Chain A
């Protein structure tokens, strides 16, 4: 594995690089605000249950990805962190959907 030290880290965050970061943060901030307004606006469109849930969660997923990728620097993070997060997402969905799918025949659908 390649060797990374603190000096490399500093080079990657030169004043010019930091200015670029700030511009990106402002762009992400604007996008998050617009998406928040869209999410709230959708509530008043009174969509049927399933489309409403899908659209709202899709917007939340986009917003969450923007925060993770840019504010949390996941987009430029080391491979090990990305592998760790992919494994976490896998287990997250396992925990999230496992109990419901197991009990699907026993429970009533959403009304």
Chain B
């Protein structure tokens, strides 16, 4: 363990009792809490939908091409994220910045596309108050977008100002990139479920007033 890391134990070395470093265990515990957060939202959604015989065709109010584009963008960003971890393991700063920069840029593309989608909803008079479905849509995608924004901030830090650590403590830095990656992949994973649930599986009679 390095001198700098000695103040906070087991940031690189595994604890003998868990077989894991604390960073790895900490991020998985955090992700477990995130699963429960999104799980409670999905539970509310199922309850609202099954309890409403006039649920309507919410998907027809949304843009499937834009959502498909965003799915492709987010999956691609997961690949660039995992390649950032490979670059950190190889201690290749140039490659790390290329892939981390791409991940942040793809996150920004996702947010811009989402911004266009939101603007179109308001332009066509489909705000959250339009129907229960639209309220669910904005809640789900808004919370997800906040996660994308947070991930972009963390990834930007590790890709650029925080990348100096690669010179001083490369293994701890690689662990940090892996941890940021776990969060980013989780955000991708949530979208993989949101995409069919919101955009593809809401057919039936028209929703709203």
Binding site for B on A (CB under 8 A): 1-6, 9-10, 13, 15, 18, 21-22, 25-26, 29, 32-33, 36, 39-40, 42-43, 49, 52-53, 56-57, 59-60, 63-64, 67-68, 71-73, 78-81, 84-85, 87-89, 91-92, 95-100, 103, 106-111
B197 CB contacts on chain A under 8 angstroms:
57, 60
Most buried by A among B76, B197, B200: B200
Per the bound structure, the CA–CA distance linking A78 and B22 in Å amounts to 13
State whether A108 touches B19 (Cβ < 8 A): no
State whether B182 touches A64 (Cβ < 8 A): no
Asked if B186 is an interface residue, CB under 8 A from chain A, the answer is yes
Per the bound structure, the CA–CA distance linking A6 and B42 in Å amounts to 39
Asked if B121 is an interface residue, CB under 8 A from chain A, the answer is no
User: What is the minimal beta-carbon distance from A84 to any residue of chain B, in angstroms?
Assistant: 6
Residue among B17, B43, B196 making CB contact with A1, cutoff 8 Å:
B17
How many B residues touch A, CB cutoff 8 Å? Answer: 61
Q: Which residues of B in the span 36-54 have a Cβ within 8 Å of any Cβ on A?
A: 36, 39-40, 42-44, 46-47, 49-53
A39 CB contacts on chain B under 8 angstroms:
195-196, 200
State whether A36 touches B72 (Cβ < 8 A): yes
Main secondary structure on chain A at its contact with chain B? Answer: helix
Per the bound structure, the CA–CA distance linking A106 and B200 in Å amounts to 27
User: If A15-B90, A88-B35 touch, does A9 touch B193 (CB 8 Å cutoff)?
Assistant: no
Per the bound structure, the CA–CA distance linking A60 and B189 in Å amounts to 9
State whether B186 touches A60 (Cβ < 8 A): no
State whether B78 touches A67 (Cβ < 8 A): yes
User: If A21-B86, A84-B32, A99-B43 touch, does A59 touch B196 (CB 8 Å cutoff)?
Assistant: yes
Binding site for A on B (CB under 8 A): 1, 12-14, 16-20, 24-25, 28-29, 32, 35-36, 39-40, 42-44, 46-47, 49-53, 55, 59, 64, 68, 71-72, 75-76, 78-79, 81-83, 86, 89-90, 171, 178, 181-182, 185-186, 188-189, 192-193, 195-197, 200-201, 203-204
Per the bound structure, the CA–CA distance linking A59 and B197 in Å amounts to 12
A79 CB contacts on chain B under 8 angstroms:
19
B29 CB contacts on chain A under 8 angstroms:
84
Task: A18-B89, A39-B196, A67-B185 given; name 8 further pairs at CB < 8 Å.
Answer: A4-B14, A29-B79, A67-B192, A71-B78, A85-B32, A88-B32, A96-B39, A99-B44
User: If A25-B82, A88-B32 touch, does A78 touch B19 (CB 8 Å cutoff)?
Assistant: yes
Per the bound structure, the CA–CA distance linking A63 and B192 in Å amounts to 7
State whether A72 touches B185 (Cβ < 8 A): yes
